[in-house]
Amino acid sequence: MSSKFNTFSINIRGQLIEIARPWVMGILNVTPDSFYSASRAPGNEEIATRVRQLVSQGADIIDIGGYSSRPGADDVTAQEEYARLKRGIEAVKAIAPEMIISIDTFRADVARRCVIDDGADIINDISGGDLDSCMHATVAQLHTPYVMMHTRSTPATMQQHCDYPHGVTADVIASMGQKIDHLRQLGVCDIIVDPGFGFAKTLEQNYELLNNLEEFHLLGLPLLVGISRKSMIYRLLGTTPEESLNGTTVLNTAALLHGCHILRVHDVAQAVEAVKITSALTRNYEYKPLYTQI
């Protein structure tokens, strides 16, 4: 059984854009150490190649990361993170100027520079504001859509914080609800929620959360799911991130059937196929390209 797909509109560059069917967010990691090696694009040539691939496969958004959040990853200074993000933004704008650009950062100053100086459109914060107390106020000042992910502590220690007294689904929703209220009080209009698969959750809790995904619609906001090639797939199957594409597609399809609005993925072509097939299966929406010029 599939969940009804709820349509939302978000403000991108002063224009209301309707999320009338699930969007695919392609990952561009301008890093040397992201957990999935094939997603790394540290140099300018690799960045351009990766951007062209994401565009040609039908990405609706490109999410640029300059700081790996995997446990054990090297720390990156704010200046280095910004420099990486800037290179990614410049490549996307040169190759696909109409593309919606998301920047994956938990640092408010980095987010501000990327939006004001470089033209990024969305802030994607894996900490939901917990790692930088200025982030929520910054988002309010920038009037930028904000992806608020759930996690606890830092990437280095998050797996030590998986205790949810009322159950993972109820506690995650309650935590996000409190932050949503705070953001609303600050005047933030466009919030996208991400349950944070793989962040401060055990293997079993990740699957419980996905099975209960429809409950997140109670928050009344667009829902982003980022499962791509994560350990909840390869640990369960005894494989590796490189062998996790099929498992990713299975779980992305499950998320679509539960009514998610954005899939954050390494493999755009397969995710687009999942959206098209789910469209035909459920008839909840019609697949149409988001862009006419790309």
In a domain, residue 243? The reply is: yes
In 24-47, which positions are buried (b, 16+ CB within 10 angstroms) versus exposed (e)?
bbbbbbbbeebbbeebbbbeeeeb
How high is the pLDDT of residue 4? Answer: 82
How high is the pLDDT of residue 78? Answer: 95
CATH number at residue 92: 3.20.20.20
In a domain, residue 10? The reply is: no
Domain that holds residue 138: 23-282
Looking at the structure of the chain, the number of domains it has is 1
Q: Say yes or no to pLDDT of 1 above 60.
A: no
User: Which amino acid belongs to residue 166?
Assistant: H
pLDDT tens by residue, 140-156 = 999 999 999 999 766 66
Helices in the chain by DSSP H: which ranges? 44-57, 78-95, 108-116, 135-142, 168-186, 203-211, 231-237, 245-257, 268-282
93 classed as catalytic: no
For the stretch 92-97, contacts whose Cβ atoms lie closer than 8 Å and that sit 24 or more positions apart, written own/partner, are 92/28, 92/51, 92/62, 92/64, 93/119, 94/48, 95/48, 95/51, 95/52, 95/55, 96/51, 96/55, 96/62, 96/291, 96/294
pLDDT tens by residue, 86-128 = 999 999 999 999 999 999 999 999 999 999 999 999 999 999 9
In a domain, residue 13? The reply is: no
In a domain, residue 287? The reply is: no
In a domain, residue 228? The reply is: yes
In a domain, residue 12? The reply is: no
List all residues 6 or more positions away from 147 whose beta carbon is below 8 Å from its beta carbon: 102, 122, 123, 124, 125, 192, 193, 194, 224
Instruction: Assign 117 to helix, strand or coil.
Output: coil
pLDDT tens by residue, 251-287 = 999 999 999 999 999 999 999 999 999 999 999 999 9
Active-site entry in 70, 93, 264, 276: 264
In a domain, residue 1? The reply is: no
How high is the pLDDT of residue 21? Answer: 98
pLDDT tens by residue, 176-203 = 999 999 999 999 999 999 999 999 899 9
Q: What is the reported pTM?
A: 0.94
| pLDDT band at residue 293 under the 50/70/90 scheme | confident
Active-site entry in 50, 87, 112, 230: 230
Of 71-85, 170-184, 199-213, the least confident? 71-85
Q: What CA–CA distance (Å, rounded) separates 213 from 197?
A: 11
Q: What CA–CA distance (Å, rounded) separates 92 from 28?
A: 10
264 classed as catalytic: yes
In a domain, residue 2? The reply is: no
How high is the pLDDT of residue 168? Answer: 96
